[in-house]
């Protein structure tokens, strides 16, 4: 089986790698003063479990995402494109650390980035 037939999930190292990715990614997110206030009252254990499912499914792993639809979850949070770009920068840095392969880093970044419109509030001024 060549690398194009294996799922992105397997190519980056499967369950252990995705678990590490989600953990380290949220460590960074929670240290960012631009993002941290959003998570202050959120039960992180549950969120991390949902994100583990979400990322595993988004990378074609053998997992079903059982959480709420991403657009509904972020509705009313007033997330700007600036905050989303902080979030995506932390994601990029984390993938590069866990699995320093440019192609897969770009693939993961684009897949998660597809959800950008569902997350940001386009009525806000810096969301252009």
Give residues in contact with ligand HEM (CB under 6 A). Answer: 35, 38-39, 42, 47, 50-51, 54, 67-68, 70, 73-74, 79, 83-84, 87, 112, 115-116, 119
When the beta carbons of 15 and 38 are compared against ligand HEM, the nearer one is 38
Residue with the shortest CB distance to ligand HEM: 67
When the beta carbons of 38 and 93 are compared against ligand HEM, the nearer one is 38
When the beta carbons of 116 and 124 are compared against ligand HEM, the nearer one is 116
Contact 81, 71 (CB under 8 A): no
Closest CA to 91 of 18, 42, 5, 39: 18
Tokens at residue 52, please? 């583990």
**Cα 88 from Cα 25, distance rounded (Å):** 10
The CB-of-7 to ligand HEM minimum distance in angstroms stands at 18
The CB-of-125 to ligand HEM minimum distance in angstroms stands at 16
Contact 118, 74 (CB under 8 A): yes
The CB-of-119 to ligand HEM minimum distance in angstroms stands at 4
DSSP state of 111: H
Separate counts of helices (H) and strands (E) for the chain: 8, 0
């Amino acid at each position: 089986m060549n690398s194009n037939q294996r799922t992105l999930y397997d190519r980056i190292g499967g369950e252990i790698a995705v678990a590490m990715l989600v953990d380290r990614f949220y460590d960074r997110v929670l240290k960012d003063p631009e993002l941290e206030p959003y998570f202050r009252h959120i039960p992180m254990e549950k969120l991390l479990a949902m994100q583990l499912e979400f990322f595993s499914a988004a990378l074609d792993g053998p997992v079903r995402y059982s959480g709420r639809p991403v657009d509904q979850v972020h509705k009313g949070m007033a997330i700007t494109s600036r905050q989303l770009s902080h979030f995506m920068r932390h994601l990029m840095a984390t993938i590069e650390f866990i699995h320093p392969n440019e192609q897969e880093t770009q693939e993961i970044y684009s897949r998660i980035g597809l959800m950008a419109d569902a997350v940001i509030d386009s009525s806000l001024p810096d969301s252009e």
